[in-house]
Amino acid sequence: MSSDTTGQDDTYVHRPGNTDPVVGANEPEATGFGSRGWVLVGVVALCFVGIPGAIYLVPSLPALAGLPYLAAMLALPMIPAVLLGLVAVWSMTAATRGGD
């Protein structure tokens, strides 16, 4: 067992009242969502409210574009899924790189 000359062990002890500026110096300050986070929130709202609402309110819109009903009902949910996935990856890459 090793101890220094003052009799203290070489272990870390957390002292909540310590105001040493070195403690926590590497932690980034929380500033909120940032611009990429708000883009992600907007895409989530669009994917869960906007696109399904448009399909509900105007179900004949895919037929007007020339898509058969079955193909439209299979393909239309894929659009918000791909969009949400791409924006989520885009926003997380910025968060892990420390961007924004």
What pLDDT, in 10s, does the model give residues 23-81? 445 555 666 767 888 888 888 888 888 878 877 888 888 888 888 888 888 887 888 88
Residues 6+ apart with CB under 8 A from 71: 62
Confirm if 51 and 95 have CB atoms less than 8 A apart.
no
Instruction: For 31-41, write each residue's pLDDT tens digit.
Output: 676 788 888 88
pLDDT for residue 18 is more than 70: no
Smallest Cα–Cα separation from 95: which of 1, 31, 48, 2? 31
Q: Using the 8-state DSSP alphabet, how is residue 84 labeled? A: H
pLDDT over threshold 70, residue 20: no
Whether residue 1 is predicted with pLDDT greater than 70 in this model: the reply is no
Gyration radius of the chain's alpha carbons: 26
